[in-house]
Chain A
Amino acid sequence: MQKEPLLKMKGICKKFGSVQALNNVDFELYDNEILGLVGDNGAGKTTLIKIVSGAYSPDEGKIFLRGEQVNILDPRSAKTLGIETVYQDLALADKLNIAENIFLGKERLKNFLGTPIRILDKKRMEAETLPTLRKLKIDIESPRAKVATLSGGQRQATAIAKSIFWKARIIIMDEPTAALGVAETMKVRQITLDLKKEGASVILISHNLEDIFSVVDRVIILRGGRRVGDRLVKQTTRDEIVKLMITGERAIQ
C-alpha cells in the first residue's frame, strides 16, 4: 500500500525486571508524516521512543532506517542517524544559557589566537541561535538567557530548537504539551506542523486527543506494551481511539 517506511521496527521487546514494558511491538514511520503515539499511562510509549533515541536498547527486535538495519547504541549514534528527541522533561541544562543548550554536544569551535588549540566559539554559537529562535517565533530576550529563568513554553521551544537546529529527519516529542497553557500548546502544534513543512517526520506522543486530531496524520495505539491499533486520523474517530487505548478493542460500529 505505502512506500518503504523511513523508520521501521520489528518485534521490539523490552523488560524492566518483571515488567514487560514492550511486547513484540512493530512500528513504522513514513517520510514527512506526523505520527501520533498514544496509549494510557504505562502503555510503553516513552520506552518505545527511548529505544529509537538510543537511551535504551531493546531486549529483542530490529530497527531499520530506509530499509537498512541499524544499531542505535546510544543517544550519540541516534543523533548521527538524524534522530533528535525532545524529552518529556526536556533534558535541558538549567545552568547553561539557550545557545549553550542548543549546541550542547555539538559545540562550534575556533582556534585560540591562531594556535592549534581549539576553544569554544561562543559568539558564533549565539549568533547562529538567533535565526532558529526567530523561526520558532519564540519570545526570548537573548540567546544568553539562562534556561533556569525561562517560562514553560520558552523551555519547550528551546528543547525543540535544540533538536531542529541540526536538521534532523526524525524528531521525537514526548508529551510536549502536557505542562503548557493554551497559547503555548497552540504554538507547539504550529511548530510541529512547521517541522513537517520543512520535510521532517515527527513522532508525537500525547495524551491530548486535541493534539492528535489537529496535527497528526496517522496514529499508533499502544496498550500494556502491545500495539493494538494503527489508524489514519482522517479515517477514525476519537471514540475509536479512546476505546482502543482503554480496552484494546475496536469500537462497536
Chain B
Amino acid sequence: MSKNSQNTAKQKEEKKVVFLLRHTVETYGLLAGFVVLCVFLSIASPYFLTLSNIFNVGRQIAVTAIIAFGMTFVITAAQIDLSVGSVVALTGVITAALVTRAGFPVWIWLPLVLLTGITIGLMHGFFVAKQKIPAFLLTLATMGVLRGIGFIYTRGHPIYIGSRGFRAIGRGFIGPVPIPIIIMVIIWLICYFILTQSKIGKYITVVGESQRVARLSGINVDRVLIFVFVIEGVLTAISGIIMASRLGTGSPQVALGLELNVIAAVILGGTSLFGGEGRMFGTLLGAMVIGTLVNGMTLLNISPYVQMVVRGLVILGAVWVNMARYRVKR
C-alpha cells in the first residue's frame, strides 16, 4: 500500500517534469524558431536586417496578423472562416469606391466599410448558429460569392485611390513606427484582453470545447458563435482597408489564398485545431514567423513555386504538431 502510494507520488513527479518541459517547449519553441529564422536570414541576406525591409515585413505581417487575431477566436470556438481573403478584396474594393468614386470623407467611408465587415460576420454567424450550416462549407461558399461581387462591381479592374491621406494608413508612420504595425499592436492588446480576461472570452473557449456543456451552463451559444464571426468580419475589413491603402488600389484580385497564411499563423501559434483552447500571443508569433518566412524566401530569390511548396509544408507541419499536442491531452 505505502509502496504503491510512493510509486504514484514518483509518477506524479515525473509527470510534472514532463508537463513543465512540454509547457516550456510549447510556449517558447515557436519564439526560438522565430529567432533562429531571423538569425539565419540576417546572415543569408544583407537586406534582411535593413530598416526598410523590417518595416516592409512588418506591414505585411500586420494585414495577416489582424485577421489571425479574429481567426483565433473563430478557431477557439471550433469554427473556421475561409472567406477572409475574399473579404479583404471586397472591403478593399468598397473602400476604393467610397474614397475615390464617391469622394466620401473618412467619417463616412470608415463606418461604412466596418459595417460591411460586421454584416458579413452577422451573416456567417446567422447561418452557422441559427441554420446549423457547417462553417467550413458556408465560408467556402461565401469565399466565392464575396470575391465575385468585387469582380462584378469593378469588372475586374482595380480602382485607383489617389487620396494622400488615405494612403498614409498603409504607408505612413507615427514617430518611427509604421501605422499598420501600431494598429496591429493595439488590436492584439484588445484581443488578448478579451480572450483572457472577459466573460465572452471564457464563453468562446467553452463553446469550442463543448456546445452542450455551454448550453447546460446557461450560456447563449448562438450569441457566442455570432460574436466570433462578427469580430472576424470587422478585423478582416480593417485589414482590407490597410491592404488597399498600402497598394493604393482596391482590387478584387488581392489576398488570394490569404486564408491559408492566417490559419497557419493561428495553428502555428498553438490554438487548438479542435477548439476550446486559444493562444493570442501564439497567433502574433505565428503571423511573424509566416511573414518572415515568406519575406526571407523572396529575399533569397527562391522561386514562387518552391515558396508555395515550402509554405504548404509549414502548414502541414504546424497541423501535425498541433494535432499531436492536443490529441494526447484529450
Contacts and interface: CB of A to CB of B under 8 A. Distances in A.
Contact of A96 (B197, B199, B205): B205
A91 B197 contact: no
Interface string B130-142: 0000000000000
Contact of B216 (A75, A106, A112, A118): A75
B277 A95 contact: yes
Interface stretch (B54-62, B114-122, B206-214): B206-214
A71 to B, nearest CB: 16
B276 A91 contact: no
Contacts of B197: 112, 119-120
Contacts of B198: 118-120
A75 B210 CA distance: 15
B219 interface: yes
Contacts of B215: 55, 74-75
Interface range on chain A (Cβ under 8 Å from partner): 20 to 34
Interface in A73-127: 74-76, 79, 85, 87, 91-96, 100, 104-107, 109, 112, 118-120
A100 B212 CA distance: 16
B4 interface: no
A186 interface: no
B218 A75 contact: yes
Contact of A91 (B205, B212, B329): B212
A148 B326 CA distance: 13
Contacts of B202: 96, 100, 104, 107, 120
Of A74, A95, A112, chain B has the most CB atoms within 10 Å of the CB of: A95
Contact of B213 (A79, A92, A107, A112): A92
Contacts of A91: 210, 212-213, 216-217
A67 B8 CA distance: 54
Most buried by B among A96, A106, A118: A96
A106 B210 CA distance: 17
Interface in B185-203: 193, 197-199, 202
Q: Is the interface of B mostly helix, strand, loop or mixed?
A: helix
A76 B214 CA distance: 11
Interface string A133-163: 0000000000000001000000000000000
Contacts of A94: 209
Interface in B260-282: 276-277
Given A93-B209, A95-B205, A107-B202, A87 B216 contact: yes
B199 A118 contact: yes
Interface string A63-76: 00000000000111
Contact of A105 (B193, B217, B276): B217
A74 B206 CA distance: 18
A79 B215 CA distance: 12
Interface string B13-37: 0000000000000000000000000
Contacts of B276: 93, 95
B219 A105 contact: yes
Interface string B199-242: 10010011001101111111110000000000000000000000
B205 A105 contact: no
A79 B219 CA distance: 11
A119 B200 CA distance: 10
Contact of A104 (B193, B217, B277, B329): B217
B230 to A, nearest CB: 19
Nearest to A146: B329
A96 B217 contact: no
A105 B218 contact: yes
Contacts of A105: 217-219
A159 to B, nearest CB: 11
Of A75, A100, A106, most buried by chain B (CB within 10 Å of CB) is: A75
A93 B210 contact: yes
A176 B219 CA distance: 23
B217 A95 contact: no
Nearest to A122: B197
A118 B202 CA distance: 13
Given A100-B202, A104-B213, A104-B217, 19 more contacts: A75-B216, A75-B218, A79-B218, A85-B216, A91-B213, A93-B205, A93-B209, A93-B214, A93-B217, A95-B205, A96-B202, A96-B205, A96-B209, A104-B219, A106-B218, A118-B199, A119-B197, A119-B198, A119-B199
11 contacts: A53-B216, A75-B218, A93-B209, A93-B213, A94-B209, A95-B277, A104-B206, A104-B217, A105-B218, A105-B219, A120-B197
